Amino acid sequence: MLLKYFYDEKLAHASYLVGCQRAKTAVIVDPGRDIEQYLEIADREGMKITAVAETHIHADYVSGARELADRVGAKLYVSDEGPAEWKYLYLDDYDHALMHDGDHFMIGNIRFDVLHTPGHTPESISFMLTDQGGGADKPMGIFTGDFVFVGSIGRPDLLEEAAGLMDTAEPGARDLFKSAERFKSLPDYLQVWPAHGAGSACGKGLGAIPSSTVGYEKLFNPALQFTDEEKFVKYILADQPEAPKYFAVMKRVNKVGPAILGEGHHHEMLDLSRLNEALTSGTVIDLTPSPQFAKGHIAGTLNIPIGMLATQAGWLVDYDKPTYLICEPRELEEAARVLHKIGVEEIVGGFDASEVRSSGKANEDYASGTPAELSSAIQSGEVKLIDVRSNDEWNEGHIEQAEHRFLGRLPNHLEDLPHDEKIVVHCRSGARSAIAASVLQAAGFKNVVNLTGGYTAWKAEGLPSTKA
Q: How far apart are CA 94 and CA 287, in angstroms?
A: 38
Alpha-carbon distances of 64 from 8, 104, 175, rounded to whole Å: 13, 22, 27
Q: In what order do the strands lie in the sheet with 283-286?
A: 302-303, 283-286, 323-327, 347-352
DSSP string over 340-402: HHTT---EEEEEEHHHHHHTT---B--EEE-HHHHHHHHHHTSSEEEE-S-HHHHHH-B-TT-
Q: Which residues have a catalytic role annotated?
A: 427
The 10 Å CB-count burial string (b at 16+, else e) for 52-84 is bbbbbbbbbbbbbbbbbbbbeebbbbbbbbbee
Alpha-carbon distances of 171 from 56, 61, 76, 168, rounded to whole Å: 18, 24, 29, 6
The 10 Å CB-count burial string (b at 16+, else e) for 300-327 is bbbbbbbebbbbbbbbbbebeebbbbbb
Name beta bridge partners: 3.
Answer: 18
Q: Minimal CA–CA distance to 440: which of 455, 425, 452? A: 425
Strands (E), 118-248: 125-131, 141-145, 148-149, 152-153, 191-194, 212-213
Instruction: With H, G, I as helix, E, B as strand and everything else as coil, classify residue 177.
Output: helix
Residues comprising the chain, all counted: 468
Instruction: With H, G, I as helix, E, B as strand and everything else as coil, classify residue 332.
Output: helix
Q: In what order do the strands lie in the sheet with 75-79?
A: 2-8, 13-20, 25-29, 48-53, 75-79, 96-99
